[in-house]
């Protein structure tokens, strides 16, 4: 039998998970960055104090990198408050999650721990093991030199071969050269242009500016060293410099992550999207099919209400992010469904030509979707209904209590925007579950997780779900 305290705990955990998925402490359409950070900091402090085990277990969920780093930092800062068993479980989760985080974020985390004076044995061991697992220490030393230097100094790590002199020796000694080719290329790049093209792009770019190398020539020659995402960011700038520069850095769009690709598509002018319709649509569908995997075509009849109202612009820091998530969900649901009915709030039928515009008539579009009697209805919106306010909640209440009380149609609301004032994502109705969403790729997992938000399951079932996710997470091999 679930107690009142258990139900409150389950609600608190769901509240935090929604925040940890959606909020990055940056400005949103309806709230400033300061409000976001203050609200998020309170939730982290509250969870750490009251539900430490569950707080650590959320590292195994699809929370965003910003919140994963915050959880790791708070767990390490408060290590003295944890039991031996808690520290052991947390250590495994932290090590596994750090393996998934982008290296720049991990180095920023290590610097934050150093500034906070966190230097216990577990922290040093975690830093040592993470650095030891890096595939190319010389690459990290060149690309993230300050971060590697700070971590090595803070954790008192021994450095092999040339790394010690490269990071800590006086400038004058670097003229003696290094045995490691990449480190020596960095030394030679100060006075030798050909060495610039042996370096990572972000490092080489500074040397190219120093030597006055023509931008088109630089892009063409550095192209083999570009990462997939660097190619995507540089592609449009290279296009303006001529076909040769563009072809050199052209990205394979079909290999891009779905939400990242949707963001790129929405950044293009409408005329260009229309001209490249076949290419962009094929890339989005390929990314969606890759994400759907074995689940492709298994969801039956699916209807989706997708928000392209003016508030889907997001903010200057997260430009068009809510709309990009909705666009990614459109193509992923198309792949998952055997029969798919998309309904955009604006009434536009061409997903490739979307832009943030107009009011938010959620209630009307939900009525349109329910007329199709789908097996699943997925609503992707920030929940700020205004045409008229409250209609969506009333439609969903009547549908759930009067017309579909046996739940033949599964309804879920996915919200990509954190509401700082409410410490949660904005909900449309108590009658349907709401979950936060950061990336369209997480949609299948979140639709499953959203059942906990219906209030019909308690802490025991939620703990069992988290334990299963933790076991699966720890068994997974980290990406190479």
Average pLDDT over residues 393-414: 90
Tens of pLDDT along 218-228? 888 988 888 88
Count of other CB atoms within 10 angstroms of residue 240: 9
Find, among 477, 480, 460, the residue nearest to 468 by Cα.
460
Find, among 211, 214, 219, 281, the residue nearest to 250 by Cα.
219
Domains of the chain, first to last: 189-251 (no CATH), 259-456 (3.40.50)
Beta-strand pair 339-344/301-306: parallel
Tens of pLDDT along 189-214? 999 999 999 999 999 999 999 999 98
CA distances for 411 relative to 211, 337, 353, 432, 444, angstroms: 59, 15, 27, 6, 13
CA distances for 133 relative to 31, 69, 126, 128, 242, angstroms: 40, 18, 11, 9, 41
- Supply the pLDDT for residue 246: 67
Mean pLDDT of the residues in the chain: 89
Grade residue 387 by pLDDT with cuts at 50, 70 and 90: confident
> In angstroms, rounded to a whole number, what is the distance separating the alpha carbons of residues 290 and 127?
34
Cβ atoms of 376 and 332 within 8 Å: the answer is no
Average pLDDT over residues 105-116: 95
Grade residue 356 by pLDDT with cuts at 50, 70 and 90: very high
- Supply the pLDDT for residue 2: 58
Average pLDDT over residues 32-37: 88
Tens of pLDDT along 272-304? 999 999 999 999 999 999 999 999 999 999 999
Predicted confidence (pLDDT) at residue 458 exceeds the cutoff of 70:
no
Predicted confidence (pLDDT) at residue 480 exceeds the cutoff of 50:
no
Tens of pLDDT along 111-157? 999 999 998 888 999 999 999 999 999 999 999 999 999 999 998 88
Q: What percent of the chain has pLDDT over 70?
A: 93
- Supply the pLDDT for residue 194: 92
Burial class (CB in 10 A: 0-12, 13-18, 19+), 278: exposed
Average pLDDT over residues 83-96: 94
Cβ atoms of 442 and 18 within 8 Å: the answer is no
> In angstroms, rounded to a whole number, what is the distance separating the alpha carbons of residues 333 and 328?
9
- Supply the pLDDT for residue 274: 94
Predicted confidence (pLDDT) at residue 60 exceeds the cutoff of 70:
yes
Cβ atoms of 373 and 337 within 8 Å: the answer is no
Find, among 165, 162, 97, 166, the residue nearest to 126 by Cα.
97
Q: pTM above the 0.85 mark?
A: yes
């Amino acid at each position: 039998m679930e107690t009142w305290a258990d139900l409150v705990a389950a609600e608190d955990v769901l509240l935090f998970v929604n925040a940890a998925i959606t909020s990055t402490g940056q400005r949103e359409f309806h709230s400033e960055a300061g409000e976001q950070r203050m609200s998020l900091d309170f939730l982290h402090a509250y969870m750490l104090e009251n539900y430490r085990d569950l707080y650590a277990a959320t590292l195994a969920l699809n929370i965003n990198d910003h919140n994963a780093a915050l959880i790791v930092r708070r767990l390490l800062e408060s290590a003295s408050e944890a039991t031996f068993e808690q520290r052991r479980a947390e250590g495994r989760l932290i090590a596994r999650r750090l393996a998934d985080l982008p290296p720049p974020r991990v180095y920023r985390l290590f610097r934050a721990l150093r500034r906070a004076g966190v230097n216990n044995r577990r922290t040093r061991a975690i830093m040592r093991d993470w650095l030891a697992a890096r595939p190319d220490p010389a690459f990290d030393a060149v690309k993230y030199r300050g971060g590697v230097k700070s971590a090595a100094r803070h954790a008192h790590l021994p450095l092999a071969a040339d790394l010690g002199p490269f990071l800590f020796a006086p400038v004058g000694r670097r003229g003696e050269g290094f045995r490691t080719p990449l480190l020596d290329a960095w030394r030679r790049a100060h006075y030798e242009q050909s060495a610039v093209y042996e370096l990572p792009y972000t490092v080489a770019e500074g040397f190219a500016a120093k030597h006055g190398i023509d931008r088109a020539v630089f892009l063409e020659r550095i192209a083999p060293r570009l990462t997939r995402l660097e190619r995507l960011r540089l592609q449009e700038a290279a296009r303006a410099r001529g076909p040769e520069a563009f072809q050199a850095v052209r990205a394979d769009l079909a290999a891009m992550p779905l939400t990242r690709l949707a963001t790129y598509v929405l950044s293009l002018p409408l005329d260009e999207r229309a001209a490249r319709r076949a290419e962009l649509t094929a890339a989005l569908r390929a990314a969606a099919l890759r994400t759907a995997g074995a689940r492709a075509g298994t969801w039956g009849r699916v209807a989706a209400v997708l928000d392209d109202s003016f508030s889907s612009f997001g903010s200057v820091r997260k430009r068009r992010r809510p709309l990009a998530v909705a666009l990614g969900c459109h193509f992923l649901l198309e792949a998952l469904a055997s029969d798919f009915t998309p309904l955009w709030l604006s009434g536009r039928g061409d997903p490739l030509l979307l832009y943030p515009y107009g009011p938010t008539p959620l209630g009307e579009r939900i009525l349109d979707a329910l007329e199709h009697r789908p097996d699943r209805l997925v609503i992707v919106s920030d929940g700020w209904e205004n045409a008229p306010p409250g209609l969506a909640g009333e439609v969903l209440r009547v549908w759930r209590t009067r017309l579909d009380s046996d739940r033949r149609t599964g309804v879920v609301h996915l919200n990509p925007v954190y509401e700082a004032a409410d410490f949660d994502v904005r909900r449309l109705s108590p009658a349907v579950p709401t979950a936060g969403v950061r990336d369209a790729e997480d949609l299948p997992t979140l639709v499953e997780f959203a059942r906990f938000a219906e209030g019909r399951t308690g802490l025991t079932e939620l703990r069992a779900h988290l334990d299963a996710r933790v076991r699966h997470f720890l068994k997974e091999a980290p990406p190479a």
